[in-house]
Amino acid sequence: MTGNPLKPPKQPLKTPKRQWSISDFDIGKPLGKGKFGRVYLAREIKSNYIVALKVVFKEQIEKYRLHHQLRREMEIQTGLRHPNVLRLYGWFHDDERIFLILEYAHGGELYKELRKLGNLSERKAATYIASLTQALAYCHEKHVIHRDIKPENLLLDHEGRLKIADFGWSVQSRSKRHTMCGTLDYLAPEMVENKAHDWAVDNWTLGVLCYEFLYGVPPFEAESQKDTFRRIMKVDLSFPSSPDICAEAKDLISRLLVKDSSKRLSLEKIMEHPWIVKNVNPVCPK
């Protein structure tokens, strides 16, 4: 495959009036593998635009009855336009596979950076939290709750800009929801207790992520699933002595990890918080 993925064309990929097909793309190296399919680097031949092509096998969709979930994911993500939300440009299918045409994030998963470094600096953590907060504010304005924010679902582009990806558990709704979904360490207490939930579950996850960015592990991690559930329900939160994190960062985390969802810090207040204001780099974290 030719083309420089570090310098994509300035114009975004245009969705043609005709139907996409696999012949419209040069397929490059694999970028990742999931339970239901794989992601490949690809180049749209006509425009030379570099994308990520997510290939989902219909057999897996049938087996796990994911038709509704996949359709909802595609409908939600296609309608979102924000610099910190990964674009879904379109999709097509053949007899065996469904192809999602996604924005290519050259930097890969934030999870890999976090595992490599162990933990992030306060400046970098604050910058990522601010970017994520702005993206979630945009999603919530459109009544979209992500419900599965975690480092594996946060990607970085070639400039280090954070992108929310994977809207598989997302829902677009003005009313409270009852489905328990997401990933264990990031679940809000109301989900663990099978109570109705709303957008505030995303705010809770911001607190979990902020803690994990700074300390390298999620705050309620335990040896068993039962113990993790118990710690989340009790909001059993403690701050290790190392690394040495400032009091303002701990204050932000403590005001997000609140059991009563109505008392969690709002996204607007997060952006005004002294730790965010003091640390956020308006360009990109280095």
Query: What residues are labeled active site?
Result: 148
With a CB cutoff of 8 Å and minimum separation 6, the contacts of 137 are 267, 268
CA distance 48 to 8: 8
Query: Is residue 42 marked as binding?
Result: no
Query: Is residue 59 marked as binding?
Result: no
CA distance 119 to 104: 25
Query: Is residue 104 marked as binding?
Result: yes
Query: Is residue 153 marked as binding?
Result: yes
Query: Is residue 111 marked as binding?
Result: no
CA distance 5 to 17: 25
Task: Specify whether the CB–CB gap between 28 and 41 falls below 8 A.
Answer: yes
Q: Which of 42, 64, 60, 53 is nearest to 90 (CA)?
A: 53
Chain-centre distance of CA 186, in angstroms? 12
Task: Specify whether the CB–CB gap between 51 and 102 falls below 8 A.
Answer: yes
Residues of each annotated binding site for ATP: 35, 54, 58, 103-105, 152-153, 166
